[in-house]
Every structure is written in C-alpha cells, then in structure tokens.
C-alpha cells in the first residue's frame, strides 16, 4: 500500500505519458500488463497507480520503491527495456522522474 508522507523514506517516481484518445486504452493496457506481469514482482517495488485525464491524452503513473536503485535496476532490465520500446510506440513521449515528498496533506 502506498503512503504519501515526507517521513516515509521511499523513492517516489512519477511518469507522465503523452498519448491520444485513439491509443490511450492500448497504452493503459500495456502499462497494466507491465505492472501485473513484471514490475510489481521486482525487488523494492511497493505500489503504483495509473491515472488518465478526461481527454485521454495523458496518463500519469505514480509509483513507490524501497530505494532508487531498485527502480533503476527494474528500468534497466532486458524485460523492461523491451516493454518500453512497445510503450514508446503507443505514445508521443514519456518521462519517469524521481521525486522526494516535500509535504503531504490529508
């Protein structure tokens, strides 16, 4: 379970994908498959969520990892590199960015 807190010592990764209404569901299916079949089984994975905007032109992915090295190892694996090539074909661009939680509310 994800916990968004400044005091939670985890690595947060937010990835945004630019897509189109015509490929949004295909991209969402590819991302869901990647999480179900591979990413969620990697060392250090804690949790993730996928968000789609109303226009179906952007997908945001929020994930948490025990350590940044765990995320980087998953991203550099042969399996994920192959999946990312297919994901790249379904969107205009995507960019994973590592963040530290500066503050949380609620």
Number of domain units in the chain: 1
List the domain range (segments joined by +) for residue 64. Answer: 11-99
Residues 49 and 11: their CA atoms lie apart, in Å, by 14
**In 3-state terms, the chain is what percent helix, strand and coil (to 5)?**
35, 30, 35
Is residue 74 in some structural domain?
A: yes
**Secondary structure E strands in 1-106:** 11-18, 45-52, 58-65, 93-99
Q: Which two tokens stand for residue 55?
A: 């226009």
Query: What does the mean pLDDT of the chain come to?
Result: 94
User: What is the full DSSP assignment across 7-27?
Assistant: TS--EEEEEEEE--TTTHHHH
Is residue 106 in some structural domain?
A: no
User: pLDDT digit string (tens) for 66-99?
Assistant: 999 999 999 999 999 999 999 999 999 999 999 9
Confidence check: pLDDT of 5 > 90: no
For the beta sheet containing 58-65, the strands, ordered from the edge strand earlier in sequence to the opposite edge, are 45-52, 58-65, 11-18, 93-99
21 pLDDT tier (thresholds 50, 70, 90): very high
Is residue 2 in some structural domain?
A: no
CATH number for the domain spanning 51: value is: 3.30.70.100
Identify the pLDDT of residue 1.
62
């Amino acid at each position: 379970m994800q916990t968004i807190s400044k005091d939670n010592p985890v690595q947060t990764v937010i990835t945004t994908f630019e897509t189109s209404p015509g490929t949004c569901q295909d991209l969402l299916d590819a991302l869901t498959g990647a999480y179900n079949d591979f990413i969620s089984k990697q060392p250090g994975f804690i949790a993730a969520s996928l968000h789609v905007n109303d226009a179906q032109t952007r997908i945001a992915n929020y994930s948490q990892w025990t350590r940044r090295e765990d995320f980087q190892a998953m991203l550099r694996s042969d399996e994920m590199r192959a999946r990312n090539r297919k994901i790249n074909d379904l969107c205009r661009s995507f960019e994973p960015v590592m963040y530290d939680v500066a503050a949380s509310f609620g």
